[in-house]
Amino acid sequence: MSLDYYLKFINDQSNLILHDLRLPYIKSYYQIDTLMMIQTFFLILEVKNHANFIRFDHKNGVMYQGDKKYEDPVGQAQAQVHQLKSSLHKLGIRDMPVKFLVVFTNPKAILSEEKDERVIYSHQLLQKFEELSNENQTSFIQMPQLNAIANQLITQNKPLQSDMFKQLGILPQNLKLGVICPSCQHLHMIRKHGHWFCPKCQIKSHTAHLRSLFEYQLLFNSQITNRQFRKLCNIESIKTASRLLMSSGLPHIGEHRHRIYHLNYNLQQDGRYLLDYFDKLNFRE
């Protein structure tokens, strides 16, 4: 999120920014955190959220966070440059310069003083971007072609579907379903006179089920039926469920009981409250 703040200053009609790409490369995949596409060069941002004192041993491909060892992100980004060039080559783009930066977004990160100009804090991104723009002024493609390449990369993108239940060792049937009170976090609110009612703090809400839909997308998948929605929110009436789903503005296909609603929440924007919650937990430690 701290990186998004700085990207907003750069993002205009002359460039395109793609996030979280996972692209095919020789029977496997490579990942790019953020790709900035400009007519004169492409810029890969390898984003790191590590805190504390960070130093590098590029020769041995190691990054140290205090005593802990990690793979050197500079080496990772160099590999991505190579892989992206290969992908571009296949799309008929041969001479486009591909640059990279490793960006540390955590305000508690302290980078070692041995200067490596490819490793920066997020607040240095604007200045670094301008430097790179000045060094790379030859346009290799026109804007329509840039758009076409972005679309091609998006088509090739295969997001990693991690199975959160498996990872955490939880069974789906162990989840507590229901609508959470936005005021006191009580589970679960009840449906009463056309709104959600919290039996604990007595507040009314018309939108409390939207959080349940968002979390359904996070936990399961991005499609939901009337039946699944009723189970999720403890609603008995098919009509009520249908009305709530229709009023949530989600795109849908199919009619009547075959209708499938497509959950299209933006995990970064709509999930902000989860990050806040996570921060509070860390703060308590």
Q: Which region among 13-21, 45-53, 70-78, 184-192 touches Zn ion (by CB under 5 A)?
A: 184-192
Among 22, 55, 58, 186, binds Zn ion (CB under 5 A): 186
**To the nearest whole angstrom, how small is the minimum distance from the Cβ of residue 182 to Zn ion?**
8
**To the nearest whole angstrom, how small is the minimum distance from the Cβ of residue 89 to Zn ion?**
57
**To the nearest whole angstrom, how small is the minimum distance from the Cβ of residue 224 to Zn ion?**
25
Q: Which region among 40-48, 133-141, 177-185, 240-248 touches Zn ion (by CB under 5 A)?
A: 177-185
CA distances from 14 to 10, 35, 43 (A): 9, 14, 14
- Cα–Cα distance, 53 to 64 (Å, whole number): 8
Among 69, 200, 206, 243, binds Zn ion (CB under 5 A): 200
Which distant-in-sequence residues (6+ apart) come within 8 Å of 145 by Cβ? none
The secondary structure of residue 187, as a DSSP letter, is B
Among 170, 201, 246, 275, binds Zn ion (CB under 5 A): 201
43 binds Zn ion per the rule CB under 5 A: no
Judge contact between 39 and 146, C-beta under 8 A.
yes
Token readout for 67 is 């005593």
198 binds Zn ion per the rule CB under 5 A: yes
Which distant-in-sequence residues (6+ apart) come within 8 Å of 75 by Cβ? 58, 61
Angle at 175 between CA 239 and CA 269, to 5 degrees: 75
Of 128 and 204, the one with the shorter C-beta distance to Zn ion is 204
Q: Which region among 134-142, 178-186, 221-229, 267-275 touches Zn ion (by CB under 5 A)?
A: 178-186
205 binds Zn ion per the rule CB under 5 A: no
Cis peptide before 256 (omega within 30 of 0): no
Q: Binding residues for Zn ion, how many (CB under 5 A)?
A: 7
- Residues making contact with Zn ion (CB under 5 A): 181, 183-184, 186, 198, 200-201
